[in-house]
Amino acid sequence: MEQYTVGVDVGGTKTAYGLLDGGKNIVARLSHGSDAACSPEAFFGRIAGNVRELMAAGHVRKGDLRGVGVGVPSFVLFEEGRIVKTSNLPNLRDFPARAYLAEKLGGVRVILDNDAHAAAIAEHRLGAGRGFDSLLYCPVSTGISSAIIIGGRIFRGSYGWSGESGHMIMTPDDGVECGCGNRGCVMSWCSGSMIAKHVQNWIDAGERSCIPEFAGGGEISCLHIERAYNAGDALARRAVAQMIKYLGVWTYNLYVTFNISCFVFGGGLLKMWRNLEGDGKGGNLLESMKAVFDGYNRNDMPVYFKEAELGDDFGVIGASELLF
Ligand SMILES: [Zn+2]
Protein backbone atom coordinates (compact mmCIF):
# COMPACT_ATOMS: atom_id res chain seq x y z
CA MET A 1 0.00 0.00 0.00
CA GLU A 2 1.29 3.47 -0.90
CA GLN A 3 1.23 4.90 2.56
CA TYR A 4 4.73 6.30 3.06
CA THR A 5 6.03 9.64 1.85
CA VAL A 6 9.47 11.24 1.78
CA GLY A 7 9.82 14.98 2.39
CA VAL A 8 13.04 16.71 1.32
CA ASP A 9 13.70 20.23 2.58
CA VAL A 10 16.51 21.85 0.60
CA GLY A 11 17.86 24.87 2.47
CA GLY A 12 20.68 27.27 1.66
CA THR A 13 22.91 25.66 4.26
CA LYS A 14 21.29 22.29 5.07
CA THR A 15 19.22 19.63 3.30
CA ALA A 16 16.92 17.60 5.59
CA TYR A 17 14.97 14.45 4.80
CA GLY A 18 12.11 12.71 6.56
CA LEU A 19 10.34 9.42 5.91
CA LEU A 20 6.72 9.73 7.03
CA ASP A 21 4.33 6.86 7.73
CA GLY A 22 0.60 6.71 6.97
CA GLY A 23 -0.14 8.70 10.14
CA LYS A 24 2.24 11.46 8.92
CA ASN A 25 4.73 10.69 11.68
CA ILE A 26 8.42 11.09 10.83
CA VAL A 27 9.84 7.59 11.27
CA ALA A 28 13.34 8.12 9.84
CA ARG A 29 15.52 11.17 9.22
CA LEU A 30 18.68 12.21 7.48
CA SER A 31 20.42 15.53 6.86
CA HIS A 32 23.60 16.97 5.42
CA GLY A 33 25.07 20.34 4.49
CA SER A 34 23.92 21.82 1.15
CA ASP A 35 26.95 21.99 -1.12
CA ALA A 36 26.68 25.26 -3.02
CA ALA A 37 29.59 24.27 -5.29
CA CYS A 38 27.75 21.18 -6.65
CA SER A 39 26.37 21.00 -10.18
CA PRO A 40 22.58 20.55 -10.18
CA GLU A 41 23.05 16.97 -11.44
CA ALA A 42 25.36 16.14 -8.54
CA PHE A 43 23.11 17.95 -6.06
CA PHE A 44 19.98 16.02 -7.06
CA GLY A 45 21.93 12.81 -7.62
CA ARG A 46 22.93 12.97 -3.96
CA ILE A 47 19.30 13.58 -2.98
CA ALA A 48 18.24 10.48 -4.95
CA GLY A 49 20.88 8.40 -3.18
CA ASN A 50 19.78 9.65 0.22
CA VAL A 51 16.10 9.01 -0.50
CA ARG A 52 16.97 5.41 -1.37
CA GLU A 53 19.02 5.13 1.83
CA LEU A 54 16.14 6.49 3.90
CA MET A 55 13.71 4.03 2.31
CA ALA A 56 16.09 1.16 3.03
CA ALA A 57 16.44 2.30 6.65
CA GLY A 58 12.64 2.25 7.04
CA HIS A 59 12.25 -1.03 5.09
CA VAL A 60 10.04 0.81 2.61
CA ARG A 61 9.77 -0.58 -0.94
CA LYS A 62 8.90 1.47 -4.00
CA GLY A 63 5.36 0.06 -3.97
CA ASP A 64 4.86 1.38 -0.41
CA LEU A 65 5.74 4.94 -1.39
CA ARG A 66 3.19 7.57 -2.30
CA GLY A 67 5.98 9.78 -3.58
CA VAL A 68 8.79 12.23 -2.80
CA GLY A 69 7.99 15.89 -2.10
CA VAL A 70 10.81 18.41 -2.42
CA GLY A 71 10.80 22.00 -1.16
CA VAL A 72 13.53 24.22 -2.63
CA PRO A 73 14.41 27.86 -1.79
CA SER A 74 14.02 28.69 -5.46
CA PHE A 75 11.89 30.21 -8.16
CA VAL A 76 10.12 27.09 -9.47
CA LEU A 77 8.09 26.61 -12.66
CA PHE A 78 5.67 24.33 -10.84
CA GLU A 79 3.96 22.59 -13.77
CA GLU A 80 7.31 21.66 -15.30
CA GLY A 81 9.03 20.98 -12.00
CA ARG A 82 11.89 23.16 -13.18
CA ILE A 83 14.12 25.29 -10.96
CA VAL A 84 14.56 28.72 -12.55
CA LYS A 85 17.01 30.21 -10.03
CA THR A 86 18.06 29.95 -6.40
CA SER A 87 19.68 32.94 -4.74
CA ASN A 88 21.33 30.98 -1.90
CA LEU A 89 22.52 28.13 -4.15
CA PRO A 90 23.31 29.89 -7.46
CA ASN A 91 24.27 26.65 -9.26
CA LEU A 92 20.67 25.43 -8.92
CA ARG A 93 19.32 27.28 -11.90
CA ASP A 94 17.48 26.39 -15.10
CA PHE A 95 17.30 22.72 -14.14
CA PRO A 96 14.46 20.17 -14.65
CA ALA A 97 14.81 18.90 -11.07
CA ARG A 98 11.56 16.96 -10.84
CA ALA A 99 12.10 14.93 -14.01
CA TYR A 100 15.75 14.32 -13.13
CA LEU A 101 14.93 13.07 -9.63
CA ALA A 102 12.01 10.92 -10.81
CA GLU A 103 14.26 9.25 -13.36
CA LYS A 104 17.03 8.63 -10.81
CA LEU A 105 14.46 7.06 -8.48
CA GLY A 106 13.10 4.70 -11.13
CA GLY A 107 9.85 6.51 -11.88
CA VAL A 108 8.75 7.37 -8.33
CA ARG A 109 6.24 10.26 -8.20
CA VAL A 110 8.06 13.52 -7.40
CA ILE A 111 6.53 16.93 -6.66
CA LEU A 112 8.77 19.97 -6.43
CA ASP A 113 7.75 23.39 -5.15
CA ASN A 114 9.09 26.52 -3.53
CA ASP A 115 9.81 25.89 0.15
CA ALA A 116 7.57 28.71 1.43
CA HIS A 117 4.66 27.28 -0.57
CA ALA A 118 5.27 23.85 0.96
CA ALA A 119 5.48 25.27 4.50
CA ALA A 120 2.29 27.29 3.96
CA ILE A 121 0.41 24.16 2.91
CA ALA A 122 1.65 22.36 6.03
CA GLU A 123 0.77 25.22 8.44
CA HIS A 124 -2.65 25.50 6.82
CA ARG A 125 -3.47 21.80 7.14
CA LEU A 126 -1.63 20.82 10.31
CA GLY A 127 -0.36 23.95 12.08
CA ALA A 128 -1.31 27.47 13.11
CA GLY A 129 -3.61 28.02 10.11
CA ARG A 130 -5.98 25.13 10.85
CA GLY A 131 -9.59 26.22 10.42
CA PHE A 132 -8.78 29.29 8.32
CA ASP A 133 -10.02 29.17 4.73
CA SER A 134 -7.26 31.53 3.56
CA LEU A 135 -3.95 32.57 5.07
CA LEU A 136 -0.65 34.29 4.46
CA TYR A 137 2.42 32.39 5.61
CA CYS A 138 5.44 34.66 6.11
CA PRO A 139 8.92 33.30 6.87
CA VAL A 140 11.15 36.06 8.32
CA SER A 141 14.78 35.06 8.63
CA THR A 142 17.94 35.54 6.54
CA GLY A 143 15.37 36.19 3.81
CA ILE A 144 11.77 37.35 3.95
CA SER A 145 8.98 35.87 1.92
CA SER A 146 5.31 34.95 1.90
CA ALA A 147 3.03 32.27 0.55
CA ILE A 148 -0.66 32.63 -0.10
CA ILE A 149 -3.41 30.10 0.58
CA ILE A 150 -6.75 31.13 -0.93
CA GLY A 151 -9.87 29.05 -0.40
CA GLY A 152 -7.82 26.19 1.02
CA ARG A 153 -5.39 26.01 -1.92
CA ILE A 154 -1.95 27.43 -2.47
CA PHE A 155 -1.96 30.28 -4.97
CA ARG A 156 1.10 29.89 -7.21
CA GLY A 157 0.52 32.66 -9.75
CA SER A 158 1.14 32.66 -13.50
CA TYR A 159 4.68 31.25 -13.38
CA GLY A 160 4.84 29.71 -9.93
CA TRP A 161 6.57 32.35 -7.83
CA SER A 162 3.68 34.14 -6.19
CA GLY A 163 4.42 35.48 -2.73
CA GLU A 164 7.90 36.89 -3.35
CA SER A 165 6.69 39.92 -1.46
CA GLY A 166 9.97 40.26 0.43
CA HIS A 167 11.06 42.10 -2.71
CA MET A 168 8.09 44.46 -2.60
CA ILE A 169 9.67 47.91 -2.95
CA MET A 170 9.15 50.24 0.01
CA THR A 171 11.57 53.08 -0.80
CA PRO A 172 12.44 53.10 -4.54
CA ASP A 173 16.19 53.29 -5.20
CA ASP A 174 16.87 54.22 -1.57
CA GLY A 175 18.72 52.01 0.93
CA VAL A 176 21.08 49.06 0.51
CA GLU A 177 20.97 46.81 -2.55
CA CYS A 178 19.26 43.43 -2.14
CA GLY A 179 20.05 40.17 -3.96
CA CYS A 180 16.99 40.88 -6.14
CA GLY A 181 18.97 43.72 -7.73
CA ASN A 182 16.91 46.58 -6.30
CA ARG A 183 17.37 49.01 -3.44
CA GLY A 184 14.63 49.61 -0.92
CA CYS A 185 12.68 46.33 -1.03
CA VAL A 186 11.30 44.94 2.26
CA MET A 187 14.19 42.51 2.55
CA SER A 188 16.73 45.29 2.08
CA TRP A 189 15.36 46.92 5.25
CA CYS A 190 14.41 43.91 7.36
CA SER A 191 16.19 40.64 6.63
CA GLY A 192 18.77 39.37 9.09
CA SER A 193 21.76 39.89 6.81
CA MET A 194 20.59 43.28 5.53
CA ILE A 195 20.13 44.76 9.01
CA ALA A 196 23.81 44.08 9.61
CA LYS A 197 24.67 45.98 6.40
CA HIS A 198 22.69 49.02 7.53
CA VAL A 199 24.48 49.00 10.87
CA GLN A 200 27.87 48.74 9.16
CA ASN A 201 26.99 51.74 6.95
CA TRP A 202 26.05 53.82 10.00
CA ILE A 203 29.29 52.90 11.73
CA ASP A 204 31.32 53.69 8.59
CA ALA A 205 29.62 57.10 8.59
CA GLY A 206 31.07 57.69 12.06
CA GLU A 207 28.19 56.79 14.37
CA ARG A 208 29.13 55.45 17.77
CA SER A 209 28.09 52.00 18.89
CA CYS A 210 29.36 49.03 20.90
CA ILE A 211 28.47 46.66 18.03
CA PRO A 212 31.99 46.62 16.43
CA GLU A 213 33.41 45.71 19.82
CA PHE A 214 30.98 42.76 20.13
CA ALA A 215 31.98 41.72 16.59
CA GLY A 216 35.65 41.77 17.67
CA GLY A 217 36.50 44.03 14.71
CA GLY A 218 35.15 41.37 12.29
CA GLU A 219 32.00 41.19 10.23
CA ILE A 220 28.86 42.34 12.05
CA SER A 221 26.04 39.81 12.35
CA CYS A 222 22.56 39.80 13.84
CA LEU A 223 23.91 38.15 16.96
CA HIS A 224 26.17 41.14 17.66
CA ILE A 225 23.24 43.50 17.13
CA GLU A 226 21.15 41.41 19.52
CA ARG A 227 23.82 41.61 22.21
CA ALA A 228 24.23 45.36 21.70
CA TYR A 229 20.48 45.83 21.82
CA ASN A 230 20.33 44.15 25.20
CA ALA A 231 23.20 46.37 26.37
CA GLY A 232 21.09 49.41 25.48
CA ASP A 233 23.07 50.43 22.39
CA ALA A 234 21.25 53.21 20.53
CA LEU A 235 22.32 52.05 17.06
CA ALA A 236 21.11 48.50 17.69
CA ARG A 237 17.78 49.88 18.91
CA ARG A 238 17.48 52.00 15.79
CA ALA A 239 18.18 48.95 13.57
CA VAL A 240 15.49 46.90 15.31
CA ALA A 241 12.97 49.76 15.21
CA GLN A 242 13.61 50.19 11.48
CA MET A 243 13.07 46.48 10.88
CA ILE A 244 9.80 46.47 12.80
CA LYS A 245 8.52 49.54 11.00
CA TYR A 246 9.01 48.04 7.54
CA LEU A 247 7.70 44.61 8.57
CA GLY A 248 4.55 46.29 9.88
CA VAL A 249 4.08 48.29 6.66
CA TRP A 250 4.72 45.17 4.56
CA THR A 251 2.06 43.14 6.38
CA TYR A 252 -0.38 46.03 6.10
CA ASN A 253 0.24 46.17 2.33
CA LEU A 254 -0.41 42.43 2.08
CA TYR A 255 -3.60 42.80 4.09
CA VAL A 256 -5.03 45.58 1.93
CA THR A 257 -4.12 43.58 -1.18
CA PHE A 258 -5.59 40.22 -0.18
CA ASN A 259 -7.85 40.99 2.77
CA ILE A 260 -6.69 37.73 4.34
CA SER A 261 -7.03 37.96 8.12
CA CYS A 262 -4.68 35.16 9.23
CA PHE A 263 -0.91 35.76 9.09
CA VAL A 264 1.32 32.88 10.18
CA PHE A 265 4.97 33.81 10.79
CA GLY A 266 7.94 31.46 10.93
CA GLY A 267 11.70 31.89 10.87
CA GLY A 268 14.79 32.79 12.82
CA LEU A 269 14.12 36.50 13.36
CA LEU A 270 11.13 35.65 15.59
CA LYS A 271 13.41 33.53 17.73
CA MET A 272 16.02 36.25 17.96
CA TRP A 273 13.52 38.89 18.98
CA ARG A 274 12.21 36.64 21.75
CA ASN A 275 15.69 36.75 23.26
CA LEU A 276 15.73 40.52 23.35
CA GLU A 277 14.82 42.43 26.46
CA GLY A 278 11.73 44.57 26.46
CA ASP A 279 12.23 48.08 25.14
CA GLY A 280 9.52 49.78 27.13
CA LYS A 281 7.07 49.11 24.33
CA GLY A 282 7.01 45.51 25.48
CA GLY A 283 6.32 42.32 23.63
CA ASN A 284 7.98 40.30 20.95
CA LEU A 285 8.43 40.85 17.22
CA LEU A 286 4.87 39.83 16.34
CA GLU A 287 3.32 42.20 18.85
CA SER A 288 5.56 45.05 17.75
CA MET A 289 4.77 44.41 14.06
CA LYS A 290 1.09 44.22 14.87
CA ALA A 291 1.27 47.57 16.64
CA VAL A 292 2.69 49.17 13.46
CA PHE A 293 0.07 47.34 11.37
CA ASP A 294 -2.74 48.54 13.64
CA GLY A 295 -1.46 52.10 13.33
CA TYR A 296 -2.28 52.00 9.60
CA ASN A 297 -5.35 49.77 9.69
CA ARG A 298 -8.51 51.93 9.86
CA ASN A 299 -10.85 48.99 10.15
CA ASP A 300 -11.76 47.01 13.25
CA MET A 301 -12.41 43.55 11.76
CA PRO A 302 -10.13 41.01 13.49
CA VAL A 303 -6.67 40.28 12.04
CA TYR A 304 -4.61 37.44 13.53
CA PHE A 305 -0.80 37.38 13.74
CA LYS A 306 0.18 33.84 14.72
CA GLU A 307 3.42 32.00 15.17
CA ALA A 308 4.03 28.89 13.03
CA GLU A 309 3.41 25.69 14.99
CA LEU A 310 5.22 22.93 13.14
CA GLY A 311 8.62 23.71 14.66
CA ASP A 312 11.92 22.67 13.11
CA ASP A 313 10.31 19.95 10.98
CA PHE A 314 8.09 22.36 9.04
CA GLY A 315 10.20 22.06 5.88
CA VAL A 316 10.17 18.26 5.76
CA ILE A 317 6.46 18.07 6.67
CA GLY A 318 5.60 20.74 4.09
CA ALA A 319 7.52 18.92 1.35
CA SER A 320 5.68 15.70 2.22
CA GLU A 321 2.30 17.51 2.20
CA LEU A 322 2.87 18.44 -1.48
CA LEU A 323 1.93 14.83 -2.25
CA PHE A 324 -1.60 15.06 -0.78
ZN1 LIG B 1 14.87 42.45 -2.79
Distance 19 CA to ligand 1 centre (A): 34
CA distances from residue 12 to 55, 88, 166, 192, 300 in whole angstroms, order as listed: 24, 5, 17, 14, 40
| pLDDT score, position 189 | 95
Residue 281 pLDDT greater than 50, yes or no: no
Residue 293 pLDDT greater than 70, yes or no: yes
| pLDDT score, position 214 | 93
The band of 212, judged by pLDDT with boundaries at 50, 70 and 90, is: very high
Distance 190 CA to ligand 1 centre (A): 10
What are the tens digits of pLDDT across the range 21-74? 999 999 999 999 999 999 999 999 999 999 999 999 999 999 999 999 999 999
Residue 283 pLDDT greater than 70, yes or no: no
Distance 112 CA to ligand 1 centre (A): 24
Distance 166 CA to ligand 1 centre (A): 6
Distance 81 CA to ligand 1 centre (A): 24
CA distances from residue 103 to 55, 90, 99, 108, 194 in whole angstroms, order as listed: 17, 23, 6, 8, 39
| pLDDT score, position 277 | 64
| pLDDT score, position 282 | 41
| pLDDT score, position 241 | 92
Distance 191 CA to ligand 1 centre (A): 10
Distance 91 CA to ligand 1 centre (A): 19
Distance 177 CA to ligand 1 centre (A): 7
Distance 18 CA to ligand 1 centre (A): 31
What are the tens digits of pLDDT across the range 90-131? 899 999 999 999 999 999 999 999 999 999 999 999 999 999
Residue-averaged pLDDT of the chain: 92
Full DSSP string of 148-168? EEETTEEE-TTTS-TT-GGG-
Residue 268 pLDDT greater than 80, yes or no: no
| pLDDT score, position 275 | 66
- Rg (C-alpha) for the chain, rounded Å, is 20
| 278 or 225, higher pLDDT | 225
Instruction: Over range 134-160, report the average pLDDT.
Output: 92
Residue 6 pLDDT greater than 70, yes or no: yes
Distance 172 CA to ligand 1 centre (A): 11
Report the percentage of the chain scoring pLDDT > 90: 79
What are the tens digits of pLDDT across the range 232-250? 999 999 999 999 999 999 9
The band of 193, judged by pLDDT with boundaries at 50, 70 and 90, is: confident
| pLDDT score, position 88 | 79
- Closest listed residue to residue 150, CA positions, set 293, 301, 257: 257
Distance 254 CA to ligand 1 centre (A): 16
Distance 154 CA to ligand 1 centre (A): 23
Full DSSP string of 121-132? HHHHHHSTTTT-
What are the tens digits of pLDDT across the range 308-319? 999 888 899 999
Distance 48 CA to ligand 1 centre (A): 32
- Which residues is 147 bridged to in the sheet? 137
| pLDDT score, position 271 | 75
Distance 36 CA to ligand 1 centre (A): 21
| pLDDT score, position 278 | 56
Distance 184 CA to ligand 1 centre (A): 7
Domains of the chain, first to last? 4-125+311-321 (3.30.420.40), 130-307 (3.30.420.40)
The band of 280, judged by pLDDT with boundaries at 50, 70 and 90, is: very low
Full DSSP string of 45-100? HHHHHHHHHHHHHTT--GGGEEEEEEEESSEEETTTTEEEE-SSSTT--SB-HHHH
CB atoms within 5 A of ion ligand 1 belong to: 167, 178, 180, 185, 187
What phi and psi, each to the nearest 5 degrees, are found at residue 133? -70, -40
